[in-house]
Amino acid sequence: MEKNIINYYTQATETPWGKLFYDCVFKQLKIASGLKILDFGSGFGITASYYAEKNEVIAIEPNPDMLALSNEARKYQQLLGNEEVLDRFCKNSFDLIICHNVLEYTNLEQKEEIISKLLYLLKKGGQLSLIKHNQIGAIVQEAVLMDNPKKALNWFEKLADYSLKKSYFGTVNYYDRNQIEEWCRHSNAVIKKCLGIRSMYSLSQNNEMKGTDDWYTYMQELELAVAEESPFMDMAFFHHFIIQKQ
């Protein structure tokens, strides 16, 4: 198993900032019970496990190493594969589709194709929860968290370059709201809401403070309070789009 996958798993499951990401997502994406849900790019199964407590969840993940680290006692159906697996399902199959930090690792043509397929599978009135990396947020975090203003300045000067940053999974190929809106129009869907995640909680390197209950409680409250407020949302590391099929 690749070391970067193990490191990412540790970050996601054992650090306060890793857990805070998921807690913010779950607070932002409150849903009814009894829904049929697709989690495309399910990773370690953290999100799928959470929503499977009260819903029927099917999860798709292409990386077997990530599946190996997921909870074997899962309450959802797990499939191994990529966007080709989507062709197994019928139109209007799901009430909610989740696609979190997935499209960054595809090219532009693949992004549009995947969004089209996901919206095809979504029921009328259903929602697509799409989380993506935000270029502005990456620049802010590089300058402040990583104390590297030189690299942040370089990224800012190359803002039109949609492939600036490396992550655990390779180059992040950014895309923006205008592109999402265009793809949605082709499938009769609209963006209902855009929320920021990680506007504040990773700007400090004081990890000792982050281990306290007070920090976690108030930071989560702060993140949720500013999630839709500019300029905080604009500088968030992640953008969470709630898209509805008309």
pLDDT average, residue stretch 64-88: 94
Q: How far is CA 150 from CA 135, 145, 156, in A?
A: 16, 13, 10
- Whether 36 and 94 have beta carbons less than 8 Å apart is answered as yes
Q: What is the reported pLDDT for 16?
A: 95
Q: What is the mean pLDDT of residues 39-46?
A: 98
The tens digit of pLDDT for each residue in 179-232 reads 999 999 999 999 999 999 999 999 999 999 999 999 999 999 999 999 999 999
pLDDT at 164 over 70: no
Q: Which strands make up the sheet holding 77-80, listed edge to edge?
A: 77-80, 56-61, 36-40, 94-100, 122-133, 238-245, 189-197
Residue 163: the pLDDT is 64
Report the share of the chain in percent with pLDDT over 90: 89
Percent helix, percent strand, percent coil in the chain, to nearest 5:
45, 25, 35
Asked if residue 99 lies in contact with residue 83, where contact means CB atoms within 8 angstroms, the answer is no
pLDDT tens digits for range 98-150: 999 999 999 989 999 999 999 999 999 999 999 999 999 999 999 999 999 99
Q: How far apart are CA 41 and CA 45, in angstroms?
A: 9
What's the pLDDT score for residue 83?
97
Residue 116: predicted pLDDT: 98
Residue 90 confidence (pLDDT) above 80: yes
Residue range 13-27: average pLDDT? 97
Mean pLDDT of 7-24: 95
pLDDT band for position 4 (50/70/90)?
confident
d(CA 238, CA 245): 22
Q: In whole angstroms, give the CA distance from residue 194 to residue 126.
A: 16
Using the Cα atoms of residue 23, residue 29, residue 32 and residue 37 in order, give the sign of their dihedral: negative
Asked which of 70-74, 81-85, 135-139 is least confident by mean pLDDT, the reply is: 70-74
Q: Would you state the pLDDT for residue 159?
A: 80
Domains, the chain? 3-245 (3.40.50.150)
